[in-house]
Amino acid sequence: MQTVYDAAGGIDGLRRLADAWHRRVMADDVVAHAFSHGFHPQHVERLAAYWAEALGGPSTYSDSYGDETTVVRMHSGNGEHDEMDRRAIACFDQALADVGLASDSALRQVLHDYFAWATTTTMARYHQSADDVPNGLSIPRWSWDGLQA
């Protein structure tokens, strides 16, 4: 069976999606606040590599940039941000359409479900402090059936 990664166009498709999402969040007054202190110059490439690994592609993110602990710590210690999360998810859904990934309803749904889950669960778990994030977390894997155990 084809992986979600392959169905999304591999690393090139996910890079296009990451770029479209990044452009949308930077244009959103609420979500752009998360980037107000700056962001890595290769944010789009790193984000695409992270999504690729999570969706059944190569382990480039873990091999080159860090593990899940690294990613979750970057998103932690900022208090609760439910409205920002909702808007980031809406930007993702719009980005899916921007890059032509919304026409396949099954793919659109699995990508939406993955992003919404990651945004509201793993990336939002440690509101108080990044120091609360445990060491050694691995990137969660997502398939057509959802989170893989």
Give tens-digit pLDDT for 49-90: 999 999 999 999 999 988 877 877 775 556 566 788 899 999
Percent of the chain clearing pLDDT 90 (strictly above) = 56
How many domains in the chain?
1
Calpha distance 49→57 (Å, rounded):
8
pLDDT tens digits for 12-40? 999 999 999 999 998 988 877 666 565 66
HSE-up of residue 90 (Cα within 13 Å, Cβ side)? 11
Tell me the average pLDDT across 126-141.
78
3-state secondary structure of 62: helix
Note down the domain range covering 25. 4-147
Asked whether the whole model's pTM tops 0.85, one would answer yes
Pairing status of strand 142-143 against strand 146-147: antiparallel
- Its sign, for the CA torsion 61, 64, 65, 68, is positive
3-state secondary structure of 142: strand
CATH value at residue 64 = 1.10.490.10
